[in-house]
Structure 1
Amino acid sequence: MLSTIIVDAAGDRHFLPCSGVLIHRRLVITAGHCVCLPRMPEPGDVPAPAVSLSYVGPLRPQLTRAGELRDVALRSILDKKSPCARTTLVTASRYKRTKGGVPGAETTEHYDSEILIHPQFEVVNGERGGRIETVWASADFAAILLKKPVEFELTPLELPTQEVTTGADITLVGYGPGDSPKYLGERQLGESHITQLLRLETGSVIFKAEEQSLPDGGVTASAASGDSGGPVVIKTRPGVLVGITSVGAKTRNGRKVSIFMSAYSHREWLNEVLQRADKS
């Protein structure tokens, strides 16, 4: 769990509670928007006219920034120009069962850390059709490099060797309470499946999971506040990190939709920060 406090230019303190995942004893991966504050749009942020979409392969149509921001009134942007934290409080927990079979957690806190933002990180919020929503999200990743490794033994999640596919069953993990009576900070798991896979012109791949009814009358899990940066794994391969939670929103018909950043499409950067964790 990440607890980030950022003081803005006016001196106001902002608390950003988020989730994350250990992929190394000294490295936590989370969402970029978990450690940065939005800034006001500038004239240069207005996109050029939309270009034609290309249709090549199963991950098309390719989404362009200009196309996605067409007819949108920009409200705020998070990117490398935004005020971002230099460090954050990481609370690392290792979950296990006691001798009596009761779930328990071994917890430690790390105050001293360094934040590395993905160089292509950008999240744009705007108004379209009377609604303010996230209209563009690319490379929504941040790495938290711990100055000291976590004390307990663990098996970090591995990086994927291939992209996820539409229809795959996934498990999402996070500390957000969502619609449950649980508190922020109590880990929750939920199952869903991928309904759409999209490639952005930046090279980022995002995948979505729209809320759907289950045979037992329930609904699939959806991302909620506090879940951002939490891990997503394929249900049948829980030891491999396929993505992280980026955005939780609603569709035009009112259904919840969760948007995830693909780990595979950002594997080069993830391997770079892994190497840095090894060297440090």
Structure 2
Amino acid sequence: MDLQQMRYVVAVAETRNFTRAAERCSVVQSSLSHRIAGLERELGVRLFARTSRRVELTGAGAAFLAGARECLAAADRAAADAAAAAGVVRGRLAVGVIVTTAAVDVPELLRRYRARYPDVRVVLRSDRSDRLVAAIRDGDLDIAFLGLPEDEPPSGVRTLVLDRDQHVLVVPAGHRLAGAGPLALRDIAGETFVDFVGGTPARAQSDRAFAAAGLARDVAYEAGIVELMTGLVARGLGVALLPSAFVRPLAEAAPALALVPVVDGPRRIEYLAWSRFNPSPATRALLDVLGVREEA
């Protein structure tokens, strides 16, 4: 058994296709199939159930896949640590980000990072904050940019507070509340709302604010994409509460939207989060680009 065989197994498991897996691994299909068949003989189990149209992991294959991924990650980390000891940062950096990140210009950050560390392969994943935190704890992500309610700090990871922000009401430019002075939640509770999907940290920020005020509201439209949310608002289908630092540039570029302050509206904290257990050289390098001391 060797690392290349493990890479082949992972590629087939992820693509569910021997041809695509071979393309990903830059080998001919016959060679990949031969190496996996040899591994199956060595292990004495079948890793894949295959027909002319389908490829699926067997129970043994699923068990092997988890260990194979751990071995490959350990091998990659060993190579990265060796390179870092010689003054070269290599390897892979997995970055997570929420769609409403505002405290850091992530594309610009990654441009600067690549300019300084061209040998690091950066992968980016967008998701909700709670899943990004779980991915860091599980070792699937190295670092992430989060946004969470004030009373819900991330757990099991190292964090740095990047910004504190308050939501504003986003309404169509012709709405009766456009241009109004600071409002309270009771002034807008009767509106039809556009919001994030229920159960997500982004949605929880508004839900908790209304609950704390003893108010109910109607969320008619749920979406996970901010551009869809603001599009619904611009067309008069509802109003939304969004972080001010994120939505203000959008509103400035979109005359169809207006922002109204809400005195008792939701508040959130943006965090930088990374692993508490021995961050990789690539992670430490990103912290350095951000000007963050690891012991912070």
- The interval holding the TM-score normalised by the smaller chain is under 0.3
Structure with greater strand percent: 1
Q: Which has the larger radius of gyration?
A: 2
Give the TM-score normalised by the residue count of structure 1.
0.22
Structure with greater helix percent: 2
